[in-house]
Protein backbone atom coordinates (compact mmCIF):
# COMPACT_ATOMS: atom_id res chain seq x y z
CA UNK A 1 0.00 0.00 0.00
CA UNK A 2 1.29 3.43 -0.98
CA UNK A 3 -0.15 6.72 0.20
CA UNK A 4 -1.07 9.31 -2.40
CA UNK A 5 0.50 12.27 -0.61
CA UNK A 6 -1.44 15.36 -1.59
CA UNK A 7 0.22 17.48 1.07
CA UNK A 8 3.70 17.05 -0.40
CA UNK A 9 2.49 17.38 -3.99
CA UNK A 10 0.55 20.56 -3.22
CA UNK A 11 3.69 22.14 -1.76
CA UNK A 12 5.64 21.25 -4.89
CA UNK A 13 2.91 22.77 -7.08
CA UNK A 14 2.84 25.92 -4.94
CA UNK A 15 6.59 26.41 -5.40
CA UNK A 16 6.20 26.09 -9.17
CA UNK A 17 3.31 28.57 -9.17
CA UNK A 18 5.28 31.04 -7.02
CA UNK A 19 8.13 30.96 -9.57
CA UNK A 20 5.67 31.43 -12.43
CA UNK A 21 4.04 34.37 -10.64
CA UNK A 22 7.41 36.12 -10.29
CA UNK A 23 8.06 35.72 -14.01
CA UNK A 24 4.51 36.78 -14.86
CA UNK A 25 4.79 39.95 -12.77
CA UNK A 26 8.00 40.91 -14.57
CA UNK A 27 6.69 40.17 -18.06
CA UNK A 28 3.20 41.64 -17.68
CA UNK A 29 3.40 44.01 -14.73
CA UNK A 30 0.29 42.28 -13.38
CA UNK A 31 -0.28 40.68 -9.96
CA UNK A 32 -2.79 37.79 -10.17
CA UNK A 33 -5.87 38.59 -8.07
CA UNK A 34 -8.42 36.34 -6.37
CA UNK A 35 -11.66 37.55 -4.78
CA UNK A 36 -13.57 35.32 -2.36
CA UNK A 37 -17.14 35.85 -1.17
CA UNK A 38 -17.95 34.45 2.29
CA UNK A 39 -21.56 34.71 3.46
CA UNK A 40 -22.36 33.98 7.12
CA UNK A 41 -20.26 32.64 9.97
CA UNK A 42 -19.98 28.93 9.21
CA UNK A 43 -16.73 27.90 10.99
CA UNK A 44 -15.70 25.34 8.35
CA UNK A 45 -16.23 27.81 5.51
CA UNK A 46 -14.38 30.56 7.38
CA UNK A 47 -11.45 28.23 8.09
CA UNK A 48 -11.30 27.15 4.45
CA UNK A 49 -11.34 30.75 3.22
CA UNK A 50 -8.53 31.53 5.67
CA UNK A 51 -6.45 28.70 4.21
CA UNK A 52 -7.02 30.04 0.70
CA UNK A 53 -5.90 33.51 1.79
CA UNK A 54 -2.66 32.12 3.24
CA UNK A 55 -2.02 30.11 0.08
CA UNK A 56 -2.47 33.26 -2.04
CA UNK A 57 0.03 35.08 0.15
CA UNK A 58 2.55 32.25 -0.22
CA UNK A 59 2.57 32.38 -4.03
CA UNK A 60 2.37 36.16 -4.38
CA UNK A 61 -1.26 36.70 -5.36
CA UNK A 62 -3.36 39.71 -4.48
CA UNK A 63 -6.46 38.49 -2.63
CA UNK A 64 -9.54 40.01 -1.08
CA UNK A 65 -12.37 38.46 0.93
CA UNK A 66 -15.87 39.94 0.86
CA UNK A 67 -17.44 38.89 4.16
CA UNK A 68 -21.23 39.27 4.28
CA UNK A 69 -23.84 38.65 7.00
CA UNK A 70 -26.08 35.58 7.00
CA UNK A 71 -29.19 37.70 6.25
CA UNK A 72 -27.71 39.37 3.17
CA UNK A 73 -30.05 40.03 0.25
CA UNK A 74 -29.84 38.47 -3.20
CA UNK A 75 -29.49 41.92 -4.75
CA UNK A 76 -26.50 42.86 -2.61
CA UNK A 77 -24.63 39.69 -3.54
CA UNK A 78 -25.46 40.17 -7.22
CA UNK A 79 -24.17 43.74 -7.12
CA UNK A 80 -20.94 42.59 -5.46
CA UNK A 81 -20.39 39.94 -8.13
CA UNK A 82 -20.95 42.52 -10.87
CA UNK A 83 -18.36 44.75 -9.21
CA UNK A 84 -15.85 41.86 -9.14
CA UNK A 85 -16.60 40.92 -12.74
CA UNK A 86 -15.75 44.48 -13.81
CA UNK A 87 -12.66 44.87 -11.61
CA UNK A 88 -9.52 44.42 -13.77
CA UNK A 89 -7.46 43.63 -10.65
CA UNK A 90 -9.52 40.48 -10.04
CA UNK A 91 -8.70 37.46 -12.20
CA UNK A 92 -10.58 34.82 -10.22
CA UNK A 93 -13.86 34.89 -8.30
CA UNK A 94 -14.80 32.22 -5.77
CA UNK A 95 -18.18 31.97 -4.07
CA UNK A 96 -17.76 29.97 -0.87
CA UNK A 97 -20.58 27.44 -0.64
CA UNK A 98 -23.06 26.77 0.82
CA UNK A 99 -25.04 30.00 0.64
CA UNK A 100 -27.94 30.86 3.00
CA UNK A 101 -31.39 29.49 2.03
CA UNK A 102 -32.76 32.89 0.95
CA UNK A 103 -30.12 33.10 -1.79
CA UNK A 104 -30.61 31.58 -5.24
CA UNK A 105 -27.30 29.70 -5.43
CA UNK A 106 -27.68 28.71 -9.08
CA UNK A 107 -28.28 32.28 -10.19
CA UNK A 108 -25.32 33.53 -8.15
CA UNK A 109 -22.93 31.00 -9.71
CA UNK A 110 -24.21 31.85 -13.19
CA UNK A 111 -23.49 35.55 -12.58
CA UNK A 112 -19.76 34.96 -12.20
CA UNK A 113 -17.98 35.79 -15.46
CA UNK A 114 -16.91 32.47 -17.07
CA UNK A 115 -13.36 33.79 -17.61
CA UNK A 116 -13.09 34.46 -13.84
CA UNK A 117 -14.86 31.27 -12.74
CA UNK A 118 -11.80 29.63 -11.16
CA UNK A 119 -14.03 27.16 -9.29
CA UNK A 120 -15.34 25.81 -12.61
CA UNK A 121 -19.00 25.92 -11.57
CA UNK A 122 -20.42 28.12 -14.35
CA UNK A 123 -22.47 26.20 -16.97
CA UNK A 124 -20.12 27.51 -19.66
CA UNK A 125 -17.13 25.80 -18.06
CA UNK A 126 -19.17 22.71 -17.16
CA UNK A 127 -20.06 22.37 -20.84
CA UNK A 128 -16.46 22.73 -21.96
CA UNK A 129 -15.36 20.07 -19.48
CA UNK A 130 -18.07 17.66 -20.61
CA UNK A 131 -17.08 18.06 -24.26
CA UNK A 132 -13.34 17.80 -23.56
CA UNK A 133 -12.54 21.45 -24.31
CA UNK A 134 -10.22 23.72 -22.36
CA UNK A 135 -11.80 25.74 -19.56
CA UNK A 136 -11.84 25.95 -15.79
CA UNK A 137 -12.30 22.62 -14.00
CA UNK A 138 -13.59 22.32 -10.41
CA UNK A 139 -10.58 22.29 -8.11
CA UNK A 140 -11.13 19.06 -6.17
CA UNK A 141 -11.53 16.74 -9.20
CA UNK A 142 -8.66 18.55 -10.93
CA UNK A 143 -6.50 17.91 -7.87
CA UNK A 144 -7.32 14.21 -8.03
CA UNK A 145 -6.18 14.12 -11.65
CA UNK A 146 -2.89 15.75 -10.63
CA UNK A 147 -2.38 12.99 -8.06
CA UNK A 148 -2.91 10.34 -10.74
CA UNK A 149 -0.36 12.12 -12.93
CA UNK A 150 2.22 12.46 -10.15
CA UNK A 151 2.07 8.77 -9.27
CA UNK A 152 1.94 7.56 -12.90
CA UNK A 153 -1.46 5.91 -12.49
CA UNK A 154 -2.77 5.05 -15.95
CA UNK A 155 -6.53 5.54 -16.21
CA UNK A 156 -7.06 4.23 -19.73
CA UNK A 157 -9.56 1.37 -19.68
CA UNK A 158 -9.69 1.19 -15.88
CA UNK A 159 -13.02 0.56 -14.16
CA UNK A 160 -13.56 3.75 -12.17
CA UNK A 161 -16.47 3.98 -9.75
CA UNK A 162 -17.40 7.43 -8.45
CA UNK A 163 -19.54 7.41 -5.31
CA UNK A 164 -21.33 10.74 -5.07
CA UNK A 165 -22.99 12.72 -7.87
CA UNK A 166 -22.62 16.33 -6.77
CA UNK A 167 -22.10 19.12 -9.30
CA UNK A 168 -18.96 20.15 -7.41
CA UNK A 169 -17.16 16.80 -7.19
CA UNK A 170 -18.90 13.67 -8.49
CA UNK A 171 -20.10 14.79 -11.92
CA UNK A 172 -16.95 16.70 -12.94
CA UNK A 173 -14.80 13.87 -11.56
CA UNK A 174 -16.63 11.42 -13.79
CA UNK A 175 -16.22 13.71 -16.80
CA UNK A 176 -12.46 14.01 -16.26
CA UNK A 177 -12.09 10.24 -15.93
CA UNK A 178 -14.13 9.70 -19.07
CA UNK A 179 -11.99 12.22 -20.93
CA UNK A 180 -8.96 10.18 -19.80
CA UNK A 181 -10.45 7.06 -21.46
CA UNK A 182 -11.49 5.32 -18.25
CA UNK A 183 -14.67 3.27 -17.97
CA UNK A 184 -16.80 5.26 -15.54
CA UNK A 185 -19.73 4.44 -13.29
CA UNK A 186 -21.44 6.91 -10.93
CA UNK A 187 -23.20 5.75 -7.76
CA UNK A 188 -25.40 7.95 -5.57
CA UNK A 189 -27.96 7.93 -2.80
CA UNK A 190 -30.48 6.00 -4.92
CA UNK A 191 -28.02 3.35 -6.11
CA UNK A 192 -29.22 -0.13 -5.21
CA UNK A 193 -26.60 -2.41 -3.60
CA UNK A 194 -23.59 -0.07 -3.53
CA UNK A 195 -21.26 -2.95 -2.67
CA UNK A 196 -22.06 -4.71 -5.94
CA UNK A 197 -20.71 -1.70 -7.81
CA UNK A 198 -17.68 -0.89 -5.64
CA UNK A 199 -16.39 -4.47 -5.80
CA UNK A 200 -15.86 -4.05 -9.55
CA UNK A 201 -13.77 -0.89 -9.16
CA UNK A 202 -10.12 -0.78 -10.17
CA UNK A 203 -10.24 2.81 -8.93
CA UNK A 204 -12.81 3.89 -6.34
CA UNK A 205 -13.45 7.59 -5.75
CA UNK A 206 -15.69 8.50 -2.82
CA UNK A 207 -17.00 11.93 -1.81
CA UNK A 208 -20.32 11.98 0.01
CA UNK A 209 -19.55 12.99 3.60
CA UNK A 210 -20.37 9.72 5.39
CA UNK A 211 -17.90 8.25 7.88
CA UNK A 212 -16.88 4.63 7.13
CA UNK A 213 -19.25 4.35 4.16
CA UNK A 214 -16.72 2.13 2.40
CA UNK A 215 -15.59 -0.95 4.35
CA UNK A 216 -13.03 -3.62 3.50
CA UNK A 217 -15.63 -6.11 2.26
CA UNK A 218 -16.74 -3.60 -0.40
CA UNK A 219 -13.45 -3.43 -2.32
CA UNK A 220 -11.26 -5.89 -4.21
CA UNK A 221 -7.57 -6.56 -3.67
CA UNK A 222 -5.14 -3.91 -5.02
CA UNK A 223 -7.86 -1.32 -5.55
CA UNK A 224 -6.85 2.35 -5.81
CA UNK A 225 -8.92 4.53 -3.49
CA UNK A 226 -9.40 8.29 -3.63
CA UNK A 227 -11.16 9.41 -0.45
CA UNK A 228 -12.59 12.86 -1.13
CA UNK A 229 -14.83 12.93 1.95
CA UNK A 230 -13.93 14.98 4.99
CA UNK A 231 -15.82 14.52 8.24
CA UNK A 232 -15.20 15.26 11.90
CA UNK A 233 -15.49 12.13 14.04
CA UNK A 234 -16.86 12.05 17.60
CA UNK A 235 -13.31 12.20 18.94
CA UNK A 236 -12.69 15.42 17.00
CA UNK A 237 -10.41 13.91 14.38
CA UNK A 238 -10.84 14.55 10.67
CA UNK A 239 -11.68 11.38 8.75
CA UNK A 240 -12.85 10.50 5.26
CA UNK A 241 -15.64 8.34 3.86
CA UNK A 242 -13.48 5.21 3.82
CA UNK A 243 -12.65 2.96 6.77
CA UNK A 244 -8.96 3.68 6.26
CA UNK A 245 -7.58 1.35 8.95
CA UNK A 246 -9.15 -1.78 7.46
CA UNK A 247 -9.51 -0.87 3.80
CA UNK A 248 -5.93 0.35 3.31
CA UNK A 249 -4.64 -3.22 3.76
CA UNK A 250 -6.26 -4.16 0.43
CA UNK A 251 -5.16 -1.08 -1.52
CA UNK A 252 -2.31 -0.54 -3.93
CA UNK A 253 -2.76 3.23 -3.47
CA UNK A 254 -4.96 5.29 -1.14
CA UNK A 255 -5.30 8.95 -0.16
CA UNK A 256 -5.08 9.77 3.55
CA UNK A 257 -7.54 12.11 5.26
CA UNK A 258 -6.34 14.70 6.03
CA UNK A 259 -3.36 15.23 3.74
CA UNK A 260 -4.69 13.67 0.54
CA UNK A 261 -7.19 15.44 -1.69
CA UNK A 262 -7.76 18.49 0.56
CA UNK A 263 -4.42 20.27 -0.01
CA UNK A 264 -4.70 19.58 -3.73
CA UNK A 265 -7.99 21.49 -3.92
CA UNK A 266 -6.32 24.71 -2.80
CA UNK A 267 -3.31 24.10 -5.05
CA UNK A 268 -5.64 23.80 -8.05
CA UNK A 269 -7.44 27.00 -7.07
CA UNK A 270 -4.08 28.77 -7.30
CA UNK A 271 -3.34 27.08 -10.61
CA UNK A 272 -6.72 28.12 -12.06
CA UNK A 273 -6.29 31.71 -10.87
CA UNK A 274 -2.86 32.01 -12.49
CA UNK A 275 -4.31 30.52 -15.68
CA UNK A 276 -7.05 33.18 -15.63
CA UNK A 277 -4.53 35.97 -14.99
CA UNK A 278 -2.37 34.87 -17.94
CA UNK A 279 -5.42 34.75 -20.23
CA UNK A 280 -6.54 38.22 -19.12
CA UNK A 281 -3.06 39.66 -19.65
CA UNK A 282 -2.89 38.11 -23.12
CA UNK A 283 -6.27 39.59 -24.07
CA UNK A 284 -5.04 43.07 -23.13
CA UNK A 285 -2.06 42.92 -25.49
**Tens-digit pLDDT profile for the chain (285 aa)?**
999 999 999 999 999 999 999 999 999 999 999 999 999 888 888 888 999 999 999 999 999 999 999 999 999 999 999 999 999 999 999 999 989 999 999 999 999 999 999 999 999 999 999 999 999 999 999 999 999 999 999 999 999 999 999 999 999 999 999 999 999 999 999 999 999 999 999 999 999 999 999 999 999 999 999 999 999 888 989 899 999 999 999 999 999 999 999 999 999 999 999 999 999 998 875
Whether residues 98 and 178 share a domain: the answer is: no
Residue 151 lies in a domain: yes
Residue 130 lies in a domain: no
The verdict on 73 and 165 lying in the same domain is no
Give the CATH number of the domain where residue 82 resides: 3.40.50.10860
Which residues does the annotation mark as catalytic? 52, 96, 119
Contact by Cβ (8 Å): 72, 96 = no
In a domain, 175, yes or no: yes
Number of compact structural domains in the chain:
2
How far, in whole angstroms, is CA 22 from its chain's centroid?
A: 25
**Residue 88, domain member (yes or no):** yes
Final residue before a domain boundary, out of 79, 114, 149: 114
For the entire predicted model, the pTM comes to 0.95
Q: 180 lies in a domain?
A: yes
β pairing state of 231-232 and 238-239: antiparallel
Please tell me whether residues 171 and 235 are part of one structural domain. yes
Query: Residues 177, 89: one domain?
Result: no
**Residue 241 and residue 150 share a domain:** yes
Calculate the dihedral angle through the C-alpha atoms of 215, 220, 226, 227, rounding to the nearest 10 degrees.
0
φ, ψ for residue 66 (rounded to 5)?
-95, 105
Domain boundary among 114, 148, 178: 114
Report the DSSP beta bridge partners of residue 67.
Answer: 38
Query: 225 lies in a domain?
Result: yes
- In this structure, what is the dihedral angle of CA atoms 171, 243, 218, 246, given to the nearest 10 degrees? 150
The neighbour count for residue 128, using CB atoms within 10 Å, is 17
Determine the structural domain holding residue 255 and report its residue range.
Answer: 139-262
Q: Are residues 104 and 147 in the same domain?
A: no
Instruction: List own/partner pairs for 174-182 with CB under 8 A and 24 or more apart.
Output: 175/129, 175/130, 176/129, 176/137, 176/141, 176/142, 176/144, 176/145, 177/203, 177/205, 179/129, 179/132, 180/145, 180/148, 180/155, 180/156, 181/155, 181/156, 181/157, 182/155, 182/156, 182/157, 182/158
Amino acid sequence: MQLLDGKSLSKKIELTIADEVKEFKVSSGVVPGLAVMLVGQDPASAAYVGMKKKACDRVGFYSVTHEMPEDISQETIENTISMMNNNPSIDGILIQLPLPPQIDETKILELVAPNKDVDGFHPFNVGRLTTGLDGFVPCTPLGVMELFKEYDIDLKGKNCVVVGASNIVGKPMAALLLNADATVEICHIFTDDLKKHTLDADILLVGVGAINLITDDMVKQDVIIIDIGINRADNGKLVGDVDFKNVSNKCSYITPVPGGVGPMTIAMLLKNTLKAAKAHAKSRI
